[in-house]
Structure 1
Amino acid sequence: MAQPTRAPGPEPRRHGVAVGMLAASLLAIELLAGMQGYVTQTVLPLLAAELDGTHLYGPLDAAAQAPMFLVLPAGAWLLARFRLDRLLLTFTGVTILGAVTCALAPSMGVVVAGTVVRSLASGALATVSMGAIVRGLPARHRQLVLAGMSGTWVVSSLLGPLYAVAVSQSLGWRWAMVLHLPLLVAARAVAARAVAAGSVPGDHDGTSGERVPWGWAAVLAAGSAALAAPLGAWSALAVLVGAALMLRAVAALLPAGTLHARGGRRAGLSALLAVAAAYFGSTLVLSVVAHDALGLAPHQYGVVIAVPGLTWAVCGLWTGTRPALDDRRFAVRSRSAGLSLLGGVLVVLTTTVVASGATAATAGLVLGAALLGGGMGSLYPDLLGRCLTRPDPDDGLTDAHAATAVVLAESVGLALASTTAFTWLGSGLGLVEDPRARATALYVALVVVGLLAVRRLAAAARA
C-alpha cells in the first residue's frame, strides 16, 4: 500500500472525560472478546454433537479465519473514509447478526455461515478498535490501555469458561453464545460516544482516495482457507501453497519493505508477525499435544492451557506500566522476552521427547507455557507501542496504516502458524502417524520460527 508522507504534529487534545470513557470501554471490549474466545472453545463440541457436524471442524475454522483476512486490508480505507463511532456501531450490529445466526442454527452449515458473518465483522473491528486507540488516546493513556488489555485476560481466562459451562448446562449452548452480547453492545456504544465526544473524525490525510487492495486480500483469504483444506494425499501440497499465498499477500499488503526492514516501525511489524507465529503456534495447540501426544487427562491439561494467558496478562500489566520508550531499553527488554519465548518452545519440545509420565509431562508443559506467556507479556505492550507511535522524523506511515498493519501482521502470524499446526497434528499430512512424533516435529519447526522472531526483534530495536 502506498504511504503518503505527513509531517508529524502535536497530538490533538482530548477531553479528559472522553479519554477516560474510551479507555474504560476499550478494556471492557477486550475483556468480553477474551471471554468470547473461551466460550467458543467450550461450546464447539456441544454444538457439533447436537448438529452432527464434527466432520466440519476444519471448514468451521476456515470460516473463522479467511473472511477476516478478506476485510482486514480495507481497515485503512474505512478509517480514512468514515467516522470511528459509526464504524464501531455498524460492525457491532454485524457481529450480533452473526452470533444470533449461529445461536439459531438448525444445522452445522448455518453455524458456518454465521461464523463467516462474525469473522467479517471481527476483521473490520480489529482495525477500527486499534484506530480508536491510536487516535482517541494520548500516548501515555495509550500505553496504559495496551497494558490493561493484557490484564483483562486474567479475568476472561477465569470467567469465560465458567460462564460458558454454567449457561450451557442451565440454558443450553445457544444461550451461551448470545447472553453476553448486551454487555458487548453497551461497551461498544460507550466507546463510540467517547470517540464522538473527543472529536475523532476520519483521518483525512490523503488515504481516503486510496483503492482497497481487494485482490491481495482475496489471495490472503484463499491461502488461509487452503491451510485447512481436507484433500487427503494432497493436503501437504495445500498447506505449502496456502502458506506461500499468505506470505506473498502479506508482503504486498504491509508497508513496503516490512519483511526485510533493518529498523524502525517496519521492522517492528515483521517482528510482531514472527512473534505471533511462534507464540500462538506453540500455545493454541497445547491441549491437543497434551491429550493426543502425551496422554494427559482434561483436568491435567486444563491447567496447562490456562497458564500462557495468565502469565501473559500478569507480565503485560507490569511491562505496560513501565514502558521501554527508548531504543536501548526496548533492545534489552525485547531480547530477554524473545529468549523467554524461544526457551518456552524448547521446553515444550524437550517435554514431548523425554517426558515419560503424566506428572513430568504436565510439569514440562506448564513450565514451557509459562515461559511463552511471560515472554509475550514482557514484550507485547512495548512492541505494539513501538509499531503505533510515530517516530521523529516521520516514516510516512499514517495512523490508519499503522493500525491496519499491526492487526494484519499479528493475525497472519497467528493464523499461519496455528492453522498449520492443527492440520499437522490432526493428520500428519499423511507423512507421520504417531501423535508424539507429530508434536515433536511441530516444535522443532517452531524453534526455527522462534529464532527468526529473536532476529526480527533485534532489528525492531534499531531506529
Structure 2
Amino acid sequence: MAENTAERIDWRQLWASGDLARFCFICLGILLHATNETMVATVMPAMVGDLSGVELVGWSLAVYEIGAIVAGAAAGRMTSYVALRTNMMGAALVYSAGALLCATAPSMPAFLAGRLVEGFGGGALVSLAFVSVERLFPQRIWPQLFGVISAVWGVAAFSGPLIGALMSEFLSWRWAFGVFAAGGVAAALACLAVLRGPAATRQRNDGAPLPPFPFATLACLAVSVVLIASAGVDVTPLRSSLLLAAGLFGIALFFGLDRRLPAGRLFPAKPLSLATPLGNGMIMVAAFSVATVTFTVYGPLLLTSLHGTSVLTTGYIIAAESIAWSVLSILVANTPPERERGIVLAGALMIAGGVAGFAYAVPAGNIPLILGCAILQGGGFGIAWPFVTRIIVTAAPAAERTVASSAVPTMQRIGYAVGAASCGIVANASGFAGGLSSQTAAGVAAWLFLAFLPLGVLGCLAAWRLPANSASPAPA
C-alpha cells in the first residue's frame, strides 16, 4: 500500500514542473489528426454537393489512412537522421498544407490529393508524439502521459463530427479544413517554442545499425488499397472483379513481404493464423475495422439524401458512438482476466448487432434506432478492444511483444482503409455510380451494411476462439 502511494503522481506538481504542459502542446498534433479523421464524415454531404464525385467518397478515408500508415512507420526512423523538433515541425506543416489543399480544392480528385497529404502529416504527428514520450520525459510519468493521449483521442472523437457539422451548417465545409490548416501552423510554432532541450534538437543515432525501412512492403499495401478502391469506380463485372482480386492478392503479398523483414516488420510472424490467440485477435480487429467503417463514411450522406436529416444530428450520432466507446472502456477497465473472454465476445456481438441494425434503421430513417445502433457499435468496441489488445500482446512471443502492441492500431488503420475502399465498390455498384439522389441513396442504403455482415460474423467467430484467460503469457 505504501509502495502504491509512493508511486502515485501529483498532477499539480507535474504541471508545475512544466512536463505536463509541454506534453499537452505535443498532443496538439494528435488532436489535429484525430479530430480531422472523424470530422470528414459530417462535411461529406456539403462537400459532395459542391464538388460532386459521390463515386469517390470512399477514397476520402482510404487515402488518408494510406498516408497515415506510411508516415507513421517512417516517422520514428526519421528521428535518427533529423532532430525530433524538426521532424514534428515538418509533419505539422505538411498536415497544414494538406488541409489547405482540401479547403481550396476545385474538384474531388484535388480534394483527395489534399487528404493524402493530410494523412502523411497526421500519421507522422501521432507517431512522433509517442516517440517524444520516450525521448523527452522521465519513465516514471509515462503512464500518466499515455493517459493524456487517451483523453486527447476521446476529445477528438467527440469533437470532430460536431466541428464538421457546425461548420457545414453555419459557414462552409471549406472553413472546417481552413481551421485545421491554421491549426497545423500553430502546432509547428508550438513545437518551435516548447521543444528546446538537446533531446529534441539533436538527431539521435547511437551507432547501432538501423532496421531496414519497409519501402516495398508499404508500397505494396498502398497499391493494394488503391486497386480495391479503383474497383468501385466505373463498376463493370470483369474490370471490377479483376481489380478487386488484384487488390486482395496485394494485401496477402503485403503480409508475406512483412514476414520476410524480421528486423523491420510491422506485424508478428503469423498475424492471421486461426490456430493462435494472437491470430484470432488480429482477425477480429481486421474484420470489425473493415465492417464498421460504412456508417462513418456514408452514414451522414445517406441520412441527408434520404431523409433530410441535418448534418448536426448526424454529428451527434457519430459523437455518441465515440462517447459510448470511451465510457464503456472505462467501466470495464478493472475486469479480472478470467472474465476477459466473455466481455470480448459480448463486445463482438454488440458490434455485429450494430452493423445489422444499421441495415434496417438507416433506410427507414429511424433516428432513435440509428442512435441505438451507433451506441451499440461504439460500446462494443469500448469493452472489447482493451482486452483484445492485451490478449494479442500476451500471446505473442516475448521477442515480438513490442511489434504486436504497435500492430493492433496498424491493423485497425489498414482495416479502415480497405473498408473505405470496399464501401465504394458496394455503393457504386448499387446506385451511386449514377450520381447522388434520393433514389440512388435508397438503393444503396441497405446494401452498404448488409454486404459487410459476413465480416461481422467472422469477427464474432474469431472472438469465440480466443482463450478464456490471457493472464499466462506466451513463452519466449
Aligned ranges 1:71-150 → 2 under 5 Å: 71-133=71-133, 136=137, 138-150=141-153
Q: Secondary structure at 1:258's aligned position in 2? A: coil
After TM superposition, the structure 1 stretch with the greater mean CA deviation from structure 2, 145-154 or 82-91, is 145-154
Match of 2:164 in 1: 161
Q: Secondary structure at 2:292's aligned position in 1? A: helix
Match of 2:218 in 1: 217
Q: Rate the CA distance shift 1:334–1:203 in 2: closer, same or farther, 3 A.
A: farther
Q: Secondary structure at 2:399's aligned position in 1? A: coil
Offset of residue 406 of structure 1: 4.4
| TM-score scaled by length of structure 2 | 0.72
Q: What is the letter of the counterpart of residue 405 of structure 1?
A: A
Q: 1:345 aligns with which of 347, 352, 367?
A: 352
CA distance in 2, matches of 1:106, 1:444: 38
Q: What is the letter of the counterpart of residue 349 of structure 2?
A: L
Given that 1:345 and 1:450 are in contact with CA atoms closer than 8 Å, whether structure 2 keeps it comes out as yes
Given that 1:19 and 1:198 are in contact with CA atoms closer than 8 Å, whether structure 2 keeps it comes out as no
Offset of residue 228 of structure 1: 1.1
Offset of residue 394 of structure 1: 5.1
Offset of residue 92 of structure 1: 0.9
Match of 1:309 in 2: 322
Offset of residue 220 of structure 1: 0.2
CA distance in 2, matches of 1:375, 1:205: 44
CA RMSD in angstroms comes to 4.3
Aligned ranges 1:2-401 → 2 under 5 Å: 16=14, 17=17, 19-57=19-57, 60-133=60-133, 136=137, 138-153=141-156, 155-157=158-160, 159-165=162-168, 169-170=170-171, 172-187=172-187, 190=190, 197=197, 199=199, 208-229=209-230, 230=233, 231-233=235-237, 234-250=239-255, 252=258, 253-260=266-273, 267=278, 271=281, 274-275=284-285, 277-279=287-289, 281-285=291-295, 288=298, 297-299=308-310, 304-318=317-331, 322=333, 329-330=336-337, 332-333=339-340, 335-349=342-356, 352=359, 358-359=365-366, 362-380=367-385, 395=399
TM-superposition CA deviations, 1:309-365 (whole Å, max 9, x none): 12113234556xx567xxxx3563464144223223135425636999554xx4444
Q: Percent identity, aligned pairs only?
A: 20
Q: Rate the CA distance shift 1:292–1:127 in 2: closer, same or farther, 3 A.
A: same
Higher RCO by CA contacts (8 Å cutoff, separation 6 or greater):
1
Q: Secondary structure at 1:259's aligned position in 2? A: coil
Offset of residue 57 of structure 1: 3.5
Given that 1:71 and 1:124 are in contact with CA atoms closer than 8 Å, whether structure 2 keeps it comes out as yes
Offset of residue 148 of structure 1: 1.3
CA distance in 2, matches of 1:365, 1:387: 32
Query: Residue 405 in 1 paired to residue 418 in 2?
Result: no
Offset of residue 116 of structure 1: 2.6
TM-superposition CA deviations, 1:187-210 (whole Å, max 9, x none): 465467666549367775777522
Q: What is the letter of the counterpart of residue 148 of structure 1?
A: A
Offset of residue 222 of structure 1: 0.6
Q: What is the letter of the counterpart of residue 211 of structure 2?
A: E
Match of 2:453 in 1: 443
Given that 1:84 and 1:202 are in contact with CA atoms closer than 8 Å, whether structure 2 keeps it comes out as yes
Q: Secondary structure at 2:41's aligned position in 1? A: helix
Q: What is the letter of the counterpart of residue 209 of structure 1?
A: L
TM-superposition CA deviations, 1:74-130 (whole Å, max 9, x none): 344324444433221111111112222232334444333322322222333333233
Given that 1:304 and 1:366 are in contact with CA atoms closer than 8 Å, whether structure 2 keeps it comes out as yes
CA distance in 2, matches of 1:456, 1:192: 46
CA distance in 1, matches of 2:322, 2:328: 10
CA distance in 2, matches of 1:204, 1:349: 51
* Structure 2 segments unaligned to the other structure (5+ residues): 1-12, 259-265, 433-442
Given that 2:361 and 2:369 are in contact with CA atoms closer than 8 Å, whether structure 1 keeps it comes out as no
Match of 2:5 in 1: none
Q: Rate the CA distance shift 1:49–1:33 in 2: closer, same or farther, 3 A.
A: same
Match of 2:6 in 1: none
Match of 1:418 in 2: 420
Q: What is the letter of the counterpart of residue 399 of structure 2?
A: D
Q: Secondary structure at 2:64's aligned position in 1? A: helix
Given that 1:228 and 1:419 are in contact with CA atoms closer than 8 Å, whether structure 2 keeps it comes out as yes
Q: Secondary structure at 2:452's aligned position in 1? A: helix
CA distance in 1, matches of 2:84, 2:408: 17
Given that 1:312 and 1:375 are in contact with CA atoms closer than 8 Å, whether structure 2 keeps it comes out as yes
CA distance in 2, matches of 1:19, 1:115: 33
Offset of residue 223 of structure 1: 0.7
Offset of residue 180 of structure 1: 4.0
CA distance in 1, matches of 2:348, 2:281: 13
CA distance in 2, matches of 1:417, 1:305: 17
CA distance in 2, matches of 1:337, 1:242: 30
CA distance in 2, matches of 1:379, 1:22: 32
Q: What is the letter of the counterpart of residue 174 of structure 2?
A: R
